[in-house]
Amino acid sequence: MPAVIRPYTPHYVHPPPTTEALDYADLEVIDLSLAKTPEDRKALANQVRNAMRTSGFFYCINHGYTPEQTDRIFDIADVPFARVAPGEKQQYAGKMKEVGSYQGYKPRSYWHIDAGVQDQNEHYNVNRDVTKKPHPEPLRPFLPEIEAFARYNHENVLHPILRLLALGLELPEETFVNIHGYENVGETYVRFMKYYPRSEDEESKTNNVWLKGHTDFGSVTILWSQPVSALQILSPDGAWRWVKHIDNALVINAGDCLEFLSGGFYKATIHRVVQPPEDQRGYTRLGVFYFCIPDDEVKLVPFSESPVLQNQGIIRRFPDEAAPLVEAWRKARTRAYGQSELKKTDQRTEEEIINGVVVKHYN
């Protein structure tokens, strides 16, 4: 067979990992290669359940993607930022406020962080169906690879994790898989994100917080680990702890939709982004994500038939009859994020109301 010729893009070189002694979160490491048989999955489901019930984050290793493939997707991830001119970026800006969708560019300085300071990150979002929207010319040669990457995340990472989460609730394995169809109508997407260093004045006004503590609005977030330390999670003891980089690992966390569907058993995890440690300041931070959201037509009510929920009780964020469809929830969260007037409830917390649900932000 002739060799496949891939379109050229410069190799993206990550900064070196920090050498500072940071207070890292102690997260479970889930070996996805062990999820082959029903018996193996049952054992692994207990590990995932414990992780989601404590820290709400865990690592995935042995997910089947090679380090070389991971390097390639980071090379592609930099294309929308390094190879697309500012004027062309504006042509492909997302319609966050108009239609509640991140598809396309989220420009820098769109979100308000604090004290009049705007964000310094931009991202480019691609629906798993890459034909849904047009794309900047420099990115078009890479669309087949992006689509293959999306499908791999969906079928080889997301679905195995969803099976483990269902088993943790003693539900049939395919319960969550059935409402996360790759071909179904929904907004699950690949995100390429780039953070840029900020001024000393901006750091001072925001206490070095780049993105306030928040929960993701989907079901599961898949983050491809990279070496610039900036992600922190709110630990059960109330302390913010850093997430350590592991080469070619994935960082997994739960979002609002999974919390709603699991009746509060799996909690959406609060996390934030802060200024990197001193030996990594001055670098940009390139990220690759797969944001997973249930199918648009799914109603966000708990799977009350779960024996675990029947035993432990169900925490509802809204009455079942008032529960929104996924489409309404995701659009409302997208329109509001970084744009709403937040109500300060104490020195640490601010709130907004979306679809009748209190959404908290942690400063």
Q: What is the pLDDT of residues 253-307, one digit of tens each?
A: 999 999 999 999 999 989 999 999 999 999 999 999 999 999 999 999 999 999 9
- Checking if the pLDDT of 3 tops 80, the result is no
349 confidence band (pLDDT: 50, 70, 90): confident
Instruction: Show the DSSP H helices in 169-274 as ranges.
Output: 200-205, 256-261
Q: Structure tokens of 362?
A: 């942690």
b vs e for 256-274, b when ≥16 Cβ sit within 10 Å of the residue's Cβ? Answer: bbbbbbbbbbbbbbbbbbb
CA pair distance 295, 252, nearest whole angstrom: 19
Task: Give the best-scoring range by mean pLDDT among 4-8, 254-258, 339-343.
Answer: 254-258
Q: Starting from the edge strand earliest in sequence, which strands make up the sheet with 271-274, in order?
A: 240-242, 231-234, 271-274, 209-214, 357-362, 349-354, 343-344
Is residue 217 within 8 A of residue 333, CB to CB? The reply is: yes
pLDDT bracket for residue 191 (50, 70, 90): very high
List the one residue out of 12, 18, 27, 80 whose CA is nearest residue 253. 27
Q: pLDDT per residue over 102-128, tens digit each?
A: 999 999 999 999 999 999 999 999 999
> Please, which contacts does 11-17 make with residues 24 or more away whose CB atoms are closer than 8 Å?
11/71, 11/75, 12/71, 12/74, 12/75, 12/77, 12/78, 12/286, 14/74, 14/226, 14/227, 14/228, 14/286, 15/227, 15/228, 15/280, 15/283, 16/227, 17/227, 17/229, 17/245
Tell me: pLDDT of 337 over 90: no
Residue 194 tokens read as: 């780039």
Are 226 and 74 in contact by the 8 Å Cβ rule? The answer is yes
- Select from 311, 268, 337, 250 the least CA-distant residue to 59: 250
**CATH class of the region 29-362:** mainly beta
Please tell me the predicted confidence (pLDDT) of residue 361: 62
- How many CA atoms lie within 13 Å of 282's alpha carbon, on the beta-carbon side? 5
Q: Calculate the alpha carbon distances from 284 to 186, 280, 328 in Å.
A: 31, 9, 34
Average pLDDT over residues 159-167: 98
- Residues written for the chain: 363
- pLDDT of res. 295: 98
* pLDDT range class, residue 85, cuts 50, 70, 90: very high
pLDDT at 2 over 60: no
Q: What is the largest CA-CA distance in the chain?
A: 64
- From CA 267, how far away is CA 256, in angstroms rounded? 7
By percentage, how much of the chain surpasses pLDDT 70?
94
Q: Is 162 helix (H, G, I), strand (E, B) or coil?
A: helix
Report the distance separating Cα 158 and Cα 4, nearest Å.
Answer: 27
| Backbone φ and ψ of 187, nearest 5° | -115, 10
Give tens-digit pLDDT for 217-228.
999 999 999 999
Q: How far is CA 131 from CA 103, 112, 123, 147, 184, in A?
A: 12, 31, 19, 9, 14
Locate the domains of the chain by residue range: 29-362
